Structure 1
């Protein structure tokens, strides 16, 4: 009875569970506000505008599904959809595989491994504009680093981003620039595996490949 009475007079935010909840919401609230203002809000407003006819000078006029009917009847839309699917199915498996492979390499206990982890992660935080300028030089058909390397082995490089045939494969290769972010996620998962499991697997005869 005494304990129940004390808990009944103490405000919930002063209890251990309450303080933990307050701390949680205090830490999450800035992100939630930012997400609503800069992501969720614009998304909802854009969805509303998609059902209107708006020329930025007058008030939006509701037109229903007219914009979507014009979109699906446009031949450029189907081509854009195919290009997006090509890029997605090319880049996502590649980034996943390379990110996991790099994470496995970075999970080794060797001297200086922290330096290698930093080096592999740094490109993920490079501004997009700077990365675009860098890849513009890398994929330059005349003076680009990639074609110059191919020239050394007797291969004439393609036009890369300036070619309809090689543009999307070029962008798929460019997507590897941010593989460091995926590496961090996979590395965190690998380091969360208990050491006992590795020891048990080693005793059972498991090697590096399984």
Structure 2
């Protein structure tokens, strides 16, 4: 009995740092956010319990509706685009016989760029009139779009920015592809399988866990899409942020880049409605958790599950 107790205390001591970290930096903030979401709270006065009023207000919040639509668009378009281009790049790199290390480095380098610097550079490259991309398109006789200055092109421009920095996703796919048994590809080829059939029936089953993982991470990151949208809007409009770090041009142009996290930030730090901001954060957490669990269920083999 004494030995078991000492063993349990030893295990608990090793787990203590992680346990304290989870409680202090995850559980406590989560419980606090849920509590404050039911209150009227401005950080200066005592929280006032208002029940479900913050959650009911969401249905009449037109700014929230715009932000939710933009964020949903980003999830539907940005996540698959990033996954497909990352997978395509990784498959291309596996086919290279010479200089593959250099090409891997080139593909990965954009992922190391700080988000703010990368966004500023992209806004300049796509700047109407003087940007190198539009200048080149004009010399080719094409009508260049307004990119970040157009409500129709602003979100596709953010997708291009996201795809440009696909190095982290590409590395994951590359590691998974290199782990696919070559013998199975050769056997499928001998049986007459074409390239698409080999990819579908040999490659895809082996890399499926990585595909699901990148989908989950991509959805979570896109639901929290903040920095690039905020910096692109401010840079494209030509106006800097205020001293409080809140730009009057969030969502420029015409609210097309106004994402859910931007509205949450504005509600909390411009309007001081921290109770409502916490309610928005709780909804965001529930949506991210629900989508993640739904995607993770796809990793279960249907035959095993039955």
The TM-score with structure 2 as length reference comes to: 0.55
- Quote the residue 1:111 is aligned against: 98
1:97 is aligned, of 84, 87, 92, to 84
1:162 is aligned, of 113, 134, 149, to 149
The alpha-carbon distance between structure 1 residues 79 and 134, as it changes in their structure 2 partners (threshold 3 A), is same
Are 1:183 and 2:170 counterparts?
A: yes
2:137 is aligned, of 144, 150, 153, to 150
Gaps of 5+ in 2: 198-306
Are 1:80 and 2:36 counterparts?
A: no
- 1:130 shift after superposition: 1.2
Gaps of 5+ in 1: 1-7, 14-21
Give the greater-gyration-radius structure (CA): 1
- 1:30 shift after superposition: 7.2
Q: What pairs with 1:56-67 in structure 2 (closer than 5 Å)?
A: 56-67=43-54
The TM-score with structure 1 as length reference comes to: 0.77
The alpha-carbon distance between structure 1 residues 60 and 189, as it changes in their structure 2 partners (threshold 3 A), is same
Q: What pairs with 1:123-142 in structure 2 (closer than 5 Å)?
A: 123-142=110-129
Which is further off, 45-54 or 136-145? 45-54
- 1:78 shift after superposition: 1.7
- 1:86 shift after superposition: 1.5
The alpha-carbon distance between structure 1 residues 140 and 45, as it changes in their structure 2 partners (threshold 3 A), is farther
- 1:94 shift after superposition: 1.1
- Quote the residue 1:201 is aligned against: 188
- Give the Cα–Cα distance (whole angstroms) in 2 for the partners of residues 108 and 37 of structure 1: 47
Which is further off, 139-148 or 34-43? 34-43
The alpha-carbon distance between structure 1 residues 144 and 43, as it changes in their structure 2 partners (threshold 3 A), is farther
Which is further off, 35-44 or 125-134? 35-44
- Give the Cα–Cα distance (whole angstroms) in 1 for the partners of residues 51 and 153 of structure 2: 39
The alpha-carbon distance between structure 1 residues 110 and 165, as it changes in their structure 2 partners (threshold 3 A), is same
- Give the Cα–Cα distance (whole angstroms) in 1 for the partners of residues 18 and 110 of structure 2: 24
- Give the Cα–Cα distance (whole angstroms) in 1 for the partners of residues 166 and 154 of structure 2: 20
- 1:178 shift after superposition: 2.7
- Give the Cα–Cα distance (whole angstroms) in 1 for the partners of residues 116 and 110 of structure 2: 12
**Matched residue count:** 192
- Give the Cα–Cα distance (whole angstroms) in 1 for the partners of residues 87 and 20 of structure 2: 33
The alpha-carbon distance between structure 1 residues 167 and 66, as it changes in their structure 2 partners (threshold 3 A), is same
- Give the Cα–Cα distance (whole angstroms) in 1 for the partners of residues 144 and 17 of structure 2: 48
- Give the Cα–Cα distance (whole angstroms) in 1 for the partners of residues 18 and 94 of structure 2: 30
Q: Which protein, 1 or 2, shows the higher relative CO under an 8 Å CA cutoff with sep ≥ 6?
A: 2
